[in-house]
Structures are given as structure tokens and as C-alpha cells.
A = this chain, B = another copy of it.
Amino acid sequence: MKSALSFLVAARECEIGELEQLALTSELVNLVGQLIHALQKERGVSNVYLGSKGRRFGEQRAPQALECDALARQVRERFDVLYSDPHGVRNGARLFARIAAVLQGLDDLPGLREQIGARTLDADQSTAAFVRLIAGLLGVVFEAADSATDPQISRALVAMFNFMQGKEFAGQERAFGAMVFVGGRVDDLDQRWQLLIDTQERCFQVFANFADPTALQTWRALRDGPKLAELERLRRVGRAVRAGEPLDPQLGQAWYDGCTHRIDAMRTVEDRLALHLRTLCEQRIEQTRAELHDQQAILGSLSASGPQTPAPLGPQLERSILDMLQEQSLRLQAMSDELDTVRASLNERKVIERAKGVLMAARKLSEDAAYKLLREAAMNQSRRLVDVAERIIEAHELLGPKA
């Protein structure tokens, strides 16, 4: 029979295994971030192309597609590494289903590009296709953040996920604005634009709660930089555009360049976050290995006193085992508590997503409209978005067909 100490050692070994898995996932997350960045650019380029009836950005399409494809290949290689060792993957069922959805989207890219080239779909439809694919990729990042077992790494992943999500809304704003500047007013222009700004803010707020100081500083310097005023001015101009009256092409270019500059800068924040994540994983692995080493030394001196016998331990050794047990259990408890706190922010997101789903089904709304309704209800009631979302889910459970 295995001893208490053997299980303590095995617990550490499991911890190291979980940390190594997290290190792999973190690298994947970083690569996914790069692919998303390239797809965001392709979406923007495609929108200007479609909005200008093929007159502008035509020559930028092919190189941008090549960049996306090269990164997609790298991401798929990482996916294949996970595939080759499914037992090492936490939450394999959910992660792999997310990956399957992403692969389907990547397979559809050539067809999408053909349609864009032939202009057989409009900017809204093209945007929607890219948004879906990027949402799938963010889903992979979300699974990674949700399955982290180490609170520090979980914090870093939650910060990363929220930043990437915020950047994606910034990318959607770029594409939406590009469509408007080049093509003129669209339906619900004001609300849609405001929503894209609000959702960015919300994500960056959560990011700020969990980010490491360096990444946060980089972000703040960027956010409060001189370019912001120009962006705000262009937002104002864009929202005042009239139906069928496209704006000065120079303005459209300025909008696209300004947004791109901002989004590219965001990518540098992501790089910082990724660096922090990598360092953190390495540190935690090293630290846990050192602790394991200490425990194994004690186990060694224990088994030297005779194999399989109910070891007559010296009182000092017995004390140190008890101390280790207590220390490990306190530490795991503290980690579990902290993990719950960090996860709460992910759960909030799940609750809001679910409430949106309820509203979409019950009132036949689009995702945007459902979110808008939620947000208005929260503002009217001076409540947090997540509280309103929870009430909607509760009410649905009481009133719905399940009851």
C-alpha cells in the first residue's frame, strides 16, 4: 500500500503535469492571438474593398490572406500536438469541440475570399463570417482560461482572454466604421457603434482587474495616448454620416489607419501578456519542482528505514510529514479559494451569454439587440449587468417550458 507521503509526492507531480499543460496551452493562446490579429486585418481590408465596390484595397487582399494562412498552419500544428495526446488535455471534450468549430471555419475561408473577390456578398455578411471564425478562436482561449488550475496562471489567462475579446470588439469597430465611412449610413448606426465601444470598455475593465502591472502600464500608456482624441473625433464624424452619402475618402483612410494603429498597439500589449504568462508558467513549474525535490528527499530517508514495514519513524520525521501535510492542504485550499475568485469573472461572462441566449430565443432578437436590451435594463435599474442577467435566467427557469 502506498503511504501518505507517496500521495503527497504524487500530488506535486500532478501539479507539475498540470502546470506543464498550462505552459503548452499558453503558447497556443499566444499563437491564436496572432492569427486573430491577422484575421482582424483581413476583415478590415475586405470591408474597405467591399464598401468601395472593389475600388480600394484590392491589392492588399492577397498578401493579407497569405499571412492568415501561414499563421493558421502554425495554429493547426499546435492543435495536432494536442490531438496526439488527448489524455494530457484538461477539458478535452469541450476544447476539442471548440477546435473542430474553428477548423470548419478555417476550411471555409477560401470560399469566403472568393465571394468577397467576386463581391457576391456585402460588407455586413463578410464581417459576420470573420466575426464567427474569430469568436470560435476566442472560444478556444476561453476554454484554456476556464480549465486553468493555478490561480496565478488563471489570472493571467483571464486578463489575456478579456484583452483579446476587447481587442476583437475594437476590430469590429474598425470594420464597422470602415463600412460606414466608405458606404454611408446603415440601420441602427448609433446604437451599433455605441455597443461596440461599450463592450470594448467592459472587457478592458475586467482585463485591468486581472492584468500584471507591466501589461497594465503598457495598456494605460496606449489608451491615454494622443491618438485617442483623433479617434474620438472620427467616431463623432462617422456617427453623423448621412444615408447614401459616403464621406471624404481621406476620412475613411484616416479612420482605418487610426484604428489599425491602435489595434496593432494592442497586439504589443498581448505580447507583454503572453511573455508574462510564459514567465509565470516557468516560475511555477520550477518552484513546484523544488518543492517536490524536498519531499522526495524525505521519502528517500523514509524508505531507507526499510521497505514495506510500518516504518518506525523518528518523532522529528513524523513531525515534518505532518507539517508538510498541513502546509500542502492549506496551500491547496488557498489556491482553490483564489481560483474561485478569478473564475467568478468567467462565470459572469457565461451568465451574461446565457441571458442573451434566453432573450434571443424568447423575443426573437439578434445577439446585438439582446445585449443592448440587457445593458439598457441594467442602466435603468442602476444594477450590474450580471445581476440583471441572473434575474433573467431565474425568471426564465420559473416561467419557461422547463418549469
Q: Which residues of A contact B (CB under 8 A)?
A: 1-8, 10-15, 17-18, 73, 76-77, 79-80, 83, 86-101, 103-104, 107, 149, 321-322, 325, 328-329, 332, 336-337, 340, 347, 350, 354
Contacts A89-B14, A92-B14, A347-B340 given; does A100 touch B149 at CB 8 Å: no
Interface contact A2-B83, CB-CB below 8 Å: yes
Contacts A2-B80, A80-B2 given; does A96 touch B7 at CB 8 Å: yes
Assembly CA distance A91 to B336 (angstroms): 11
This chain: copies in complex: 2
Q: Which residues of B contact A80 (CB under 8 A)?
A: 1-2
Q: Which residues of B contact A101 (CB under 8 A)?
A: 4, 325, 329
Assembly CA distance A177 to B155 (angstroms): 48
User: A136's closest neighbor in chain B, by CB?
Assistant: B329
The 10 closest A-B pairs by CB, nearest first: A14-B92, A11-B96, A4-B103, A7-B100, A15-B93, A11-B97, A14-B93, A4-B104, A8-B100, A4-B100
Interface contact B18-A93, CB-CB below 8 Å: yes
Assembly CA distance A195 to B283 (angstroms): 45
Q: How far is the CB of A60 from chain B (nearest CB, A)?
A: 26
Q: Which residues of B contact A337 (CB under 8 A)?
A: 350, 354
Interface contact A86-B4, CB-CB below 8 Å: no
Interface contact B11-A100, CB-CB below 8 Å: yes
User: A331's closest neighbor in chain B, by CB?
Assistant: B97
Q: How far is the CB of A100 from chain B (nearest CB, A)?
A: 4
Q: Which of B10, B83, B321, B354 contacts A86 (CB 8 A)?
A: B10
Assembly CA distance A331 to B8 (angstroms): 37
Assembly CA distance A110 to B354 (angstroms): 53
Q: Which residues of B contact A328 (CB under 8 A)?
A: 97, 100
Interface contact A93-B332, CB-CB below 8 Å: yes
Q: How far is the CB of A4 from chain B (nearest CB, A)?
A: 4
Q: Which residues of B contact A332 (CB under 8 A)?
A: 93-94, 97
Q: Which of B95, B107, B340 contacts A350 (CB 8 A)?
A: B340
Interface contact A7-B79, CB-CB below 8 Å: yes
Interface contact B321-A1, CB-CB below 8 Å: no
Contacts A2-B79, A4-B101, A79-B7 given; does A336 touch B94 at CB 8 Å: yes
Interface contact A8-B325, CB-CB below 8 Å: no
Interface contact A8-B97, CB-CB below 8 Å: yes
Q: How far is the CB of A45 from chain B (nearest CB, A)?
A: 25
Contacts A17-B86, A347-B340 given; does A11 touch B325 at CB 8 Å: no
Would you give 30 A-B contacts (Cβ < 8 Å), ordered by A?
A1-B73, A1-B77, A2-B76, A2-B103, A4-B103, A4-B104, A6-B83, A7-B79, A7-B96, A8-B96, A8-B97, A10-B86, A11-B92, A11-B96, A11-B100, A14-B92, A14-B96, A15-B93, A17-B86, A18-B92, A90-B90, A93-B149, A97-B328, A97-B329, A97-B332, A101-B329, A104-B322, A337-B350, A340-B347, A340-B350
User: A337's closest neighbor in chain B, by CB?
Assistant: B354
Q: Which residues of B contact A73 (CB under 8 A)?
A: 1
Assembly CA distance A329 to B332 (angstroms): 33
Q: How far is the CB of A291 from chain B (nearest CB, A)?
A: 12
Q: Which residues of B contact A83 (CB under 8 A)?
A: 2, 6-7, 10
Q: Which of B12, B96, B329 contacts A10 (CB 8 A)?
A: B96
Further 6 A-B residue pairs, CB within 8 A, beyond A2-B80, A10-B96: A1-B76, A7-B96, A14-B96, A101-B325, A104-B322, A104-B325
